Chain A
Amino acid sequence: MSLLSVRDLAVSFGGTRVLEDMSFDIAEGEVLGVVGESGSGKSMTALAIMGLLPMGGSAAGRIRFEDRDLLALPEREMQRLRGERLAMIFQEPMASLNPVFTVGEQIAEVLRRHRGMDRRSAHREAISLLKLVEIAAAERRVDEYPHQLSGGMRQRAMIAIALACRPKLLIADEPTTALDATVQAGILDLLRGLRRELGMAVLLITHDLGVVSDICERVVVMYAGRVAETGAADAIFARPSHPYTQALLAAIPRLDGPIGALPAIGGVVPAPADFPQGCRFAPRCPHALPACEVGPPALRTTVSGTDAACIRVQEVA
């Protein structure tokens, strides 16, 4: 049985649906990547799971975590869950670290509240968590304020706070986007190691396909608020089936291979108010037919074993 199971998740703001028909599972200890361009609904997926949608946003569908139905859970219980079994790392670490408390105080707070530790042992545990996320001189850093840390260290401190409650599922929303490649490499190695050591599942949100390819077993590719393709990462990268996944992978400049004009995707991603009623990729898709504009295509299994939301997937894959 999976740890998290999301079925037909939809998120709306007033009358505007920004996300719909989102379904996926995460098994214990698994790393699932969610990729997609800006505005495709990645953060809304994460925030709906955490019960932290912004004002005016509402979620529908089913989110089952362990044996609980998260969308039906009272806020009090949701709060407890967030501290204990579910944790999230936000994209902008400065926005989610409190500037007036030291890093150690912020970790200790979680430990006292959720693991009932006293002050002394919480401080000790904070140091070992900072060591776990490979912050050098943890004994000194534990008493420093967020502004005294570099970007990479802050991101690690965020991870340490998220790990303080030993979550079963860690949701990481663009945890490395703001970081340099050499720092990012370290954080990804760290996540990989932690997941092995702690058996923690990770939902990794990013727009960087390289990051996904590096660390995820399975991927959900989103386009304009819907799933375009989902499946094993190897299969998606080796043999993408959905025209959008194909176009996206072709458009990325590479570190090896030929140099020349890149096969760019014409046009732009539509905004939620302008979502086409049929396949959302149709206005930009080289394979589009009138039939594509009838309604959103359902996911169907492809030859490479992935699932793609495209009516012509048999012909174009």
Chain B
Amino acid sequence: MTALVQAAALGKTFAGGVRAVDGVDLAIAQGETLGLVGESGCGKSTLARVLIRLIEPDAGALTFRDRDITHLPDRAMRALRRDMGIVFQDPFGSLNPRMTVGQLIAEPMWIHGIGDRAARRARVPELLGLVGLLPEHASRYPHEFSGGQRQRIAIARALATEPAFLVCDEPTSALDVSIQAQVLNLLRDLQERLGLACLFVSHNLAAVRHMAPRVAVMYLGRIVEEAARDRLFAAPQHPYTQALLSAASEPGSERRTRIVLKGEVPSPANPPSGCRFRTRCPRAVSRCAEEEPQLAEVAPGQRVACHFPGALRPEELSAP
């Protein structure tokens, strides 16, 4: 299986020394969806944007269709862009209010010189149909639509150039619960029908479980665990993944025994030495401060960056 998108030791440091993405290895195959979870500020959005070079990486290497695109010049990059789409969290901010829905959807085709004017116009109703909207919606403006509908418009726009890779950055987080399901179903359906490869970013673990057969967990700029969905949710091996899962609450289920983490997330400008999670990890020992754990396979398809992977024991949880 060759990867469509591959990152090796990928990094991005912002002004002020914020290491938002710091040494990430990952691969996404053609037609595959990878889920990315982690808490606010851990670098999910930055990583998502670096993968399609909306943000320039400043360390490591990035390949797309086996081609090194880490430093591909703008011109060459522009041609590749039609193969990559992105859907943002905010369905209100991401659409130009002065353009009609038809113009918004045709614009990416125009930018990439796809088809002539007539062909592009003909494609708009098709794309609207694909996301469950009607042809007559093309002449309306974004403000005339609800949040869920606007997200559909954003998805139609992202799909206009028939990309092979779609980044979805918290695509349902701004939507009401009853609307979220509509958009998640639409995305699932499109993934299957169009054979899209997808990076699905969310802090909602249940939504990620629903969308992605494989899931990566991020903490302070690094991937700390990656595994097939069933494995990750049933048998998480990294202490942070376990804490994250234990904190999720579900309507009507028994309350889980929570792993309450001590302290605060350290600043990404000044991450702890060794393992970045050690300041909050119930299992941390001195080795964790000295040596940075690398992602290593602990079970088939499950990679964990921890010196002592495995389920936390009750006595570790009650320790102060």
Contact = CB atoms under 8 A, between A and B. Distances in A.
* A and B bind: yes
Interface of A: 37-38, 136, 150-153, 180-186, 188-189, 207-214, 237-238, 247-249, 251-256, 259, 261-266, 268-269
A196 to B, nearest CB: 15
A151 B265 CA distance: 11
B148 A249 contact: no
A237 B251 contact: yes
A262 B265 CA distance: 34
Contacts of A252: 177, 180-181, 206, 251
Nearest to A181: B247
A293 to B, nearest CB: 20
Nearest to B262: A136
Nearest to B41: A180
Contacts, number: 116
Nearest to B146: A268
B260 A189 contact: yes
A314 B204 CA distance: 35
Interface in B185-242: 185, 188-189, 203-207, 209-210, 229, 233
Contacts of A269: 176, 178
B39 interface: yes
B258 A255 contact: no
Contacts of B251: 209-210, 212-213, 237, 249, 252
Contact of A37 (B178, B181, B189): B178
A247 B180 CA distance: 13
A256 to B, nearest CB: 7
Contacts of A211: 249
30 contacts: A38-B176, A150-B264, A153-B264, A182-B39, A182-B247, A183-B39, A184-B247, A207-B176, A209-B177, A209-B251, A210-B249, A210-B250, A213-B251, A237-B251, A237-B252, A238-B252, A247-B178, A252-B180, A252-B206, A253-B207, A253-B209, A254-B250, A255-B206, A255-B233, A255-B253, A259-B209, A261-B185, A266-B182, A268-B149, A269-B176
Contacts of B207: 253
A181 B181 contact: no
A287 to B, nearest CB: 16
A248 B233 contact: no
Contacts of B258: 185, 189
A185 B261 CA distance: 10
B249 A213 contact: yes
Nearest to A211: B249
B40 interface: yes
Contacts of B181: 251-253, 262-265
B248 interface: yes
Contact of A265 (B178, B206, B209, B255): B178
Interface string B153-183: 0000000000000000000000011111110
B243 interface: yes
A299 B246 CA distance: 37
B317 interface: no
B300 interface: no
B314 interface: no
A264 B185 contact: yes
B296 interface: no
B260 A185 contact: yes
Nearest to B205: A255
Contact of B233 (A152, A213, A256, A266): A256
Contacts of B210: 253, 259, 262
A262 B188 CA distance: 10
A255 B260 contact: no
A56 to B, nearest CB: 22
Closest 9 CB pairs of A and B: A237-B252, A210-B249, A264-B181, A209-B251, A251-B181, A180-B39, A262-B181, A185-B247, A253-B210
